[in-house]
Amino acid sequence: VQLVESGGATVQDGGSLRLSCAASGFTISQYCMGWFRQVPGKEREVVGVIYAGGGSPDYANSVKSRFTISLDYARNTVLLHMNGLKPDDTAMYYCAADRSLFRRSGYCTRSPTTYEHWGQGTQVTVS
């Protein structure tokens, strides 16, 4: 199982970015997929999660109406579309995946500690 994030960059306040998470070694449609972010000295926090087998995304209140998760099944990729970026959105963004979450509980949790597989992260800086 491998997750590779890309698309991070430095953008101006109010700008937009699209992050990609390319998955390999598994099919995303059987997994909970999540985007999380972390700044130095703070805990990793959820951005949004989705059951890739069918369901609506669940977003953190801080990004609702600005960020959107989409799925590209042909490329086995999860996308994070970010609009209206603010300096507070500056962080390392991580993609995560877990197969057992949905099976156990019927939903994808927001807690990063419950996700088994992680990418290396991509930096987003808003100035």
pLDDT score of 106: 85
Confidence at residue 102, expressed as pLDDT on a 0 to 100 scale: 86
Comparing CA positions, the residue from 42, 127, 43 lying closest to residue 86 is: 127
Confidence of residue 121 (pLDDT cuts 50, 70, 90): very high
Sign of the four-CA dihedral 113, 116, 118, 124: negative
Residue 36 has pLDDT above 90, yes or no: yes
So what's the pLDDT on residue 101? 85
d(CA 29, CA 108): 13
pLDDT category at 104 given cuts 50, 70, 90 is confident
How many C-beta atoms surround the C-beta of residue 70 within 10 A?
Answer: 12
Confidence at residue 8, expressed as pLDDT on a 0 to 100 scale: 98
Flag the least confident range among 8-22, 25-39, 99-113: 99-113
